């Protein structure tokens, strides 16, 4: 049985939204059992991003400057030009992703790294975003632990057996429409 076949996401955790009209910011916090330097590599190296993230950059994103990103497992090819705005290894990474901005902070802890993601997102998609990042973070944790289960994003995530339930749970938590 493959790792994905055995994988089931846990309940919503470590997420909240900051609301500003129609534009909301999804904030997700995950405690990882790995050093910030290891997490940083997984956030910036294209080969590692290809194992867990919903996009593929055309270069390592550990430095500021332009980057071309392609959505992974999208029903149709979606590519866009973006910009890494801040890259301060191994603690802070900011870049645009289409119409959104993402800010990643890595804080060392006694047990590893506290990873915090801020993702500004239209309120109509906040529960989808939370569910998607929840699954991505779980897949990232497997990758960092040496037990990769393979990327589960885009259409693959939507077809995933636990997707609708996870979206509904986040929608309820955020008081948003699923």
Domains of the chain, CATH where assigned: 15-173 (3.30.530.20)
For the whole prediction, is pTM greater than 0.85?
yes
User: Tens of pLDDT along 146-174?
Assistant: 999 999 887 777 777 788 899 999 999 99
User: Tens of pLDDT along 50-108?
Assistant: 999 999 999 999 999 999 999 887 778 889 999 999 999 999 999 998 888 999 999 99
Return the SS3 of 103.
Answer: strand
Residue 17: closest CA among 134, 126, 131: 126
The DSSP line for 23-92 is: EEEEEEEEEESS-HHHHHHHHH-HHHHHHH-SEEESS--SSSEEEEEEETT-SS--EEEEEEEEEETTTE
């Amino acid at each position: 049985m493959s790792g994905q076949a055995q994988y089931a996401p846990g309940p919503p955790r470590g997420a909240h939204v900051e609301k500003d009209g129609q534009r909301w910011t999804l904030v997700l916090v995950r405690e990882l059992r790995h050093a910030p330097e290891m997490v940083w590599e997984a956030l910036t190296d294209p080969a590692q991003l290809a194992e867990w993230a919903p996009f593929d950059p055309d270069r390592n994103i550990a430095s500021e400057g332009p980057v071309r990103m392609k959505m992974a497992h999208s029903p149709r090819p979606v590519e866009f030009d973006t910009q890494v705005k801040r890259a301060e290894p191994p603690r802070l990474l900011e870049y645009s992703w289409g119409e959104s901005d993402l800010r990643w902070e890595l804080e060392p802890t006694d047990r590893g790294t506290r990873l915090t993601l801020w993702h500004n997102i239209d309120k109509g998609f906040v529960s989808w975003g939370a569910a998607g990042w929840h699954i991505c973070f779980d897949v990232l944790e497997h990758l960092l632990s040496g037990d990769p289960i393979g990327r589960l994003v885009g259409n693959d995530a939507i077809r995933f057996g636990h997707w609708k339930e996870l979206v509904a749970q986040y929608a309820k938590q955020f008081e948003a429409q699923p």
